């Protein structure tokens, strides 16, 4: 399974020195508990995985008192199926395991089991599927939401992929990751215009785009 989460590395570094770290931890724990719950597991039997993504977003938004920025950031961390990021620093050949904000062991395991895996029409039909794409999506939504006149979000998304390759977090630049990064940034930017937009309305572009080029 790919561990391509250097995007979270940049977030983690700034949060370590932030007074809001405890707020993020509480939010991540709450969301992890929600995803790990029997209630959420039952939803997986009844709802589409895109609807489940919307459910996570709405729950996070309510918990964070409608603060979109904190919502996007907390989902990013809650959706990561790993506790740490393995990094091999080039030249020095030093292996590092960078710790991430996460819940307790039992909740973490159940949360990973319940994470939606079929978020795109061409998601791999496996237990893991595209679970790793959720953190990519919301991490880039956070960047898109905070983009200003000089929009670095596209550059940042590509830089992260290249950076991951250089530090041997993954073997190659994943084109599907780049697509999800794009959908995430589009969602973040849309939220600046309309706070009622839902994640599924951005992710559905993947299906619409490929349906269009097949015509």
For the stretch 77-105, pLDDT in tens is 899 887 666 666 666 667 666 666 667 77
Domain membership of residue 29 (yes or no) is yes
Q: Enter the tokens of residue 192.
A: 């600046």
pLDDT in tens, 144-189: 998 764 455 454 444 444 444 444 444 445 677 888 889 999 999 9
What average pLDDT does the segment 115-121 reach? Answer: 87
C-beta neighbour count of 110 within 10 angstroms: 19
* Residues sharing a CB contact under 8 Å with residue 106, sequence separation 6 or more, in sequence order: none
H helical segments located in 48-198: 49-63, 68-79, 105-114, 131-145, 153-166, 175-193
Element (H or E) spanning 10, and its range?
Answer: helix 6-16
Quote the pTM value: 0.76
Q: Enter the tokens of residue 22.
A: 């405890």
- Phi then psi dihedrals of residue 95, to 5 deg: -95, 125
Domain membership of residue 1 (yes or no) is no
Beta bridge partner(s), residue 88? 95
Q: Whole domain around residue 159: which residue ranges?
A: 6-213
pLDDT in tens, 43-66: 988 999 999 999 999 999 999 999
Domain membership of residue 68 (yes or no) is yes
CA atoms of 110 and 119, how far apart (whole Å):
19
Cβ-count burial 120-150 (b if 16+ within 10 Å, e if not): beebeeeeebbbbbbbbbbbbbbbbbbbeee
Total tally of structural domains belonging to the chain: 1
CB 157 within 8 A of CB 141: no
Beta bridge partner(s), residue 97? 86
CB 39 within 8 A of CB 112: no
CB 196 within 8 A of CB 208: no
Domain membership of residue 59 (yes or no) is yes
Domain membership of residue 55 (yes or no) is yes
Domain membership of residue 16 (yes or no) is yes
């Amino acid at each position: 399974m790919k561990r391509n989460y250097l995007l979270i590395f940049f977030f983690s570094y700034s949060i370590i020195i932030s007074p809001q770290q405890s707020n993020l931890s509480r939010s991540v724990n709450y969301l992890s508990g929600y995803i790990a719950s029997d209630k959420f597991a039952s939803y997986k039997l009844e709802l589409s995985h895109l609807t489940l993504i919307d459910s996570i977003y709405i729950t996070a938004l309510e918990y964070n008192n409608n603060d979109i920025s904190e919502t996007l950031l907390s989902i990013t961390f809650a959706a990561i199926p790993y506790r740490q990021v393995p990094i091999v620093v080039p030249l020095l050949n030093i292996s590092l395991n960078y710790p991430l904000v996460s819940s307790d062991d039992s909740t973490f395991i159940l949360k990973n089991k319940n994470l939606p895996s079929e978020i795109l029409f061409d998601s791999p039909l496996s237990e893991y599927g595209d679970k790793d794409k959720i953190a990519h999506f919301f991490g880039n939504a956070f960047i898109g939401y905070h983009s200003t006149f000089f929009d670095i979000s596209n550059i940042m998304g590509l830089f992260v992929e290249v950076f991951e390759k250089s530090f041997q977090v993954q073997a190659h630049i994943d084109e599907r990751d780049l697509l999800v990064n794009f959908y995430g940034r589009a969602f973040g930017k849309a939220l600046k215009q309309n706070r009622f937009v839902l994640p599924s309305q951005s992710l559905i572009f993947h299906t619409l785009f490929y349906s269009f080029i097949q015509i």
